Structure formats: structure tokens, C-alpha cells
Amino acid sequence: MTVILVGASGEVVRGTRLLALDRHGQSMEIGENNIVIDEPIPGRPVIESGDYRQSEWAGATFSPDGKTLFVNIQTPGITFAIAGPWETVASGQHSS
């Protein structure tokens, strides 16, 4: 699947990356199917170790305060809560 997004200012974004909208309605690239889980974190719910890069991402949305990004992987059905700092991602000052 190829995603084509045209923003309010006319910018065109193409690709297969995971996009999200920030709390101001601006689009931002947040992932590129690069999740690998090496081992579970003690005391946390267990997610099976594995390479999830071929899994399909779905449903990226921020919490109302903009501090947490929730994303889903369809198979095996996992929701991730990812903490920022999102200001550097939105400003384009992050490293790839």
C-alpha cells in the first residue's frame, strides 16, 4: 500500500510509513515498520518476542494532552503506548 497525504499547506507526503496527526491537526511521520521485540520487560504484560516489521500498523492517535502516542499492530493484535518528546519529531529535528 502507498499512502499519499496532502496537508493543509499543500505539502504532499508519499510512502508506506506510519503517519499520525498531532493535537493541532498537523501530520507527522512516526514510524517505518521497524519494531523488533527482543525480550519482555519484567513486571509488564508479556508480548511475544519477535520481528514485527512485516506486520501491518493501524490506528495511530495521540492522547488528549499530546504526550502519549497509541499505535496498533494488527497481527498479533498489540497496542503500544509511546512517550515523546514529540516536539522534536514534529519540528523535523529528530534523527532517522
Return d(Cα 92, Cα 88) in angstroms, integer. Answer: 6
CA distances, 13 to each of 23, 44, 62 (Å): 19, 36, 20
Q: Provide the grid cell at 28.
A: 507527522
pLDDT at residue 80 in the model:
81
Q: Which amino acid is at 21?
A: L
By the 10 Å C-beta count (0-12 exposed, 13-18 middle, 19+ buried), 47 is classed as middle
Residues 40 and 46: beta-carbon distance below 8 Å: yes
The answer to the question of residue 33 being in a domain is yes
The answer to the question of residue 95 being in a domain is no
The answer to the question of residue 18 being in a domain is yes
The answer to the question of residue 9 being in a domain is yes
CA distances, 65 to each of 19, 22, 24, 77, 91 (Å): 18, 10, 11, 25, 18
The answer to the question of residue 96 being in a domain is no
pLDDT (tens, 9 = 90+) of the chain, 96 residues, equals 444 555 556 666 555 556 666 667 776 666 655 555 566 667 776 666 677 777 777 777 888 888 888 888 877 778 888 887 777 665 555 444
Provide the domain count of the chain.
Answer: 1
* Residue 46 structural domain: 3-90
